[in-house]
Amino acid sequence: NLRDSNQLQEPDRIEVLKVQSELLNNVGYVIVSNLKQPQEAPKYFHAAIEINERPEINDQKGIGIANGGLGDCHYALEDYSQAENHYTVNLNISRNNGDKQGIVRMTSMLGEIKLLNAKNEQDADTKENLLYEAENYYNESLLVAEDQKGSISILCALSGLLETIILSESFDKCKYVFEKIDENADIIVQGPDWAKNRLSQSIEKLKEKTDVYDKEIEKYKEML
């Protein structure tokens, strides 16, 4: 435990603390993601942050990982404001560290939160701003996901972009998304069914809103 680690030589003590913080983050993720108990996981992430914020540790990546986990907890509990705060901390750290996986996941989650908020927003100007922010997050997620050639991330970003188009009724932007589907077709078809279904559902929603792109929609439904 932490008390025992204080009896060690400084390099060994620091190493033990780093291992403990990793274990705390791992346990937190198992509890929130696998066991689906988001109310039980935050204490592990907070404990990991407490260790990683110590001057002798100063592990920014560990702090980012814990904040991502806290974001997942609050997202699962539908506390989207707190989720956004924690995801933003992770995103800033990921950008500073050049952590592309972190950037892809956080921009996707932040895009989703902006989209959810836009769906519930009554004020037209605020809604427009939220959709603009969602679109920017999804575009960044897609850009980095393409570099990583990650099928799940690409599918989620494309689905998110279509959802912003549908909600804003900016159907002229569909052409860009369709171009991106074509460019990434080889990667997309290798994605897992749940991720392909997510994009398929967004395409179905688009079909209900406009008949301008029926030909493209049928083509992509067949692809997926």
Inform me whether the pLDDT recorded for 2 exceeds 60: no
**What average pLDDT does this structure show over 114-121?**
97
Q: Which domain holds residue 55?
A: 12-98
Flag whether 85 is in a domain.
Answer: yes
As a whole number of angstroms, the distance between CA 167 and CA 132 comes to 11
As a whole number of angstroms, the distance between CA 126 and CA 1 comes to 49
Flag whether 93 is in a domain.
Answer: yes
Flag whether 17 is in a domain.
Answer: yes
Inform me whether the pLDDT recorded for 9 exceeds 90: no
Structural contact between residues 209 and 165, judged by C-beta atoms closer than 8 angstroms: no
Flag whether 64 is in a domain.
Answer: yes
* Average pLDDT, rounded, for the chain: 95
**pLDDT (tens digit per residue) in 128-163:** 999 999 999 999 999 999 999 999 999 999 999 999
User: What is the value of pTM for the model shown?
Assistant: 0.92
Flag whether 145 is in a domain.
Answer: no
Residue 11: predicted pLDDT: 84
Confidence of residue 1 (pLDDT cuts 50, 70, 90): low
Flag whether 165 is in a domain.
Answer: no
Flag whether 133 is in a domain.
Answer: no
123, amino acid identity: D
Flag whether 47 is in a domain.
Answer: yes
**pLDDT (tens digit per residue) in 52-106:** 999 999 999 999 999 999 999 999 999 999 999 999 999 999 999 999 999 999 9
Percent of the chain with pLDDT over 90: 94
**pLDDT (tens digit per residue) in 24-34:** 999 999 999 99
User: Residue 2 CB: number of other CB atoms within 10 A?
Assistant: 12
CATH code, domain with 93: 1.25.40.10
Number of domains in the chain: 1
User: Residue 67 CB: number of other CB atoms within 10 A?
Assistant: 23
